[in-house]
Amino acid sequence: MATVKGDVHDIGKNIVAVVLGCNNYKVYDIGVMCSCELILEKAKEYNVDVIGLSGLITPSLDEMVVVAKEMSKGGFKQPLLIGGATTSKMHTAVKVSPNYFTLEHPVIHVLDASRSVTVVSSLLGENKEDYVTDIMEEYEEMREDYYAGLEDRYFLTFDQAKEQKLVIDFDVVPPAPAPNKLGVTVIDNVSLEDVVPYIDWNPFFQTWELRGRYPNRGYPKIFNDEAVGSEAKKLFDDAQKLMKEIIANKSMYLKGVVGLFAANSTEDGEDVNIYQSEDDRENGEPCHKFCMLRQQSEKESDDPYLSQADFIAPAGYKDHLGMFAVSCFGCEELVAKYESEHDDYNKIMSQALADRF
């Protein structure tokens, strides 16, 4: 199993590894940010029966397609399993499956860790052909429905969309006042205690695949659910205990960066130029250009076809653009510690808490 190139999320993959391991399957987890070449190289080295790809962010979907194509070119015969928060059965059927799927080596979307044992046992069991045939037929129907739906959609040409863009009169609605400080600001004075009151615990339970039923779906109502309530409460209490240890030991810490830059839309209004300083703006010397997309799918209303560039004032105005990135550090060291102790539970728990921080 591997998290594909460009993606570092592996909590769900770790849970799958534990579930399969508890059912007597040998799992080789080769980590995160794995290139296609590394995945295929390790698959050959370990002589695996099944290959699993995981991903959380949208670009991972394209990388999974790349891996499927390369597996086909390389003559691989192993079934390919697709999983992760950004994946779906529809994407697997429409985008990934056509590049590799056969009765011998199907491509199958695995919804969550609890399904992994059923899927793998079916692929390695005596009834593999019947199981794969059912999925093949299902995916073919899904592709037909998907492409039939596209026939009913109409897209404007790019020039047509530009003619119906959003036009803001920046004399009437001037840009916001200039920031107090331009450039990059590092934020390293926020403690874990500061963010605890703001934690959204719902994704935490989703990570562990605990889902309450209406009206007990979200936190804290999930504790009242007849099916998962008691386990959810036990899990939450364990999380609170480990979180207190992490805060006390300072084994994790938070950092962020904020960037505020002078910005103007380009002459054609389709992109945004970024400047290091006001002097660079006056001299027309951008350091970067953000190429924006414009809506082109036909609308039934008179609403404009938007681009993010529409909201940035053109040259002659002092507009600005901001961006930020935040992260929790220290998790990798804690994970390594629990791995050395063969403590999968606290390994995954620490990752889930870092994700919430």
In angstroms, the CA 203 to CA 186 distance is 27
In angstroms, the CA 52 to CA 123 distance is 13
Which member of 10, 49, 54, 60 is catalytic?
Answer: 60
Distance of CA 258 to the CA centre of its chain: 22
Query: Is residue 7 annotated as a catalytic residue, yes or no?
Result: yes
3-state secondary structure of 106: coil
Backbone angles phi, psi at 192, to 5 degrees: -60, -40
In angstroms, the CA 17 to CA 134 distance is 26
Which member of 7, 10, 225, 319 is catalytic?
Answer: 7
Nearest C-alpha neighbor of 28 from the set 41, 42, 15 = 42
Unique residue bearing structure tokens 């200039």: 178
Beta bridge mates, 3 = 54
Omega before residue 197 within 30° of 0, cis: no
Query: Is residue 288 annotated as a catalytic residue, yes or no?
Result: no
> How buried is 139 (Cβ within 10 angstroms: 0-12 exposed, 13-18 middle, 19+ buried)?
buried
Query: Is residue 9 annotated as a catalytic residue, yes or no?
Result: yes
Which member of 9, 91, 105, 109 is catalytic?
Answer: 9
Task: Note the maximum CA span of the chain.
Answer: 73
Residues with catalytic function: 7, 9, 60
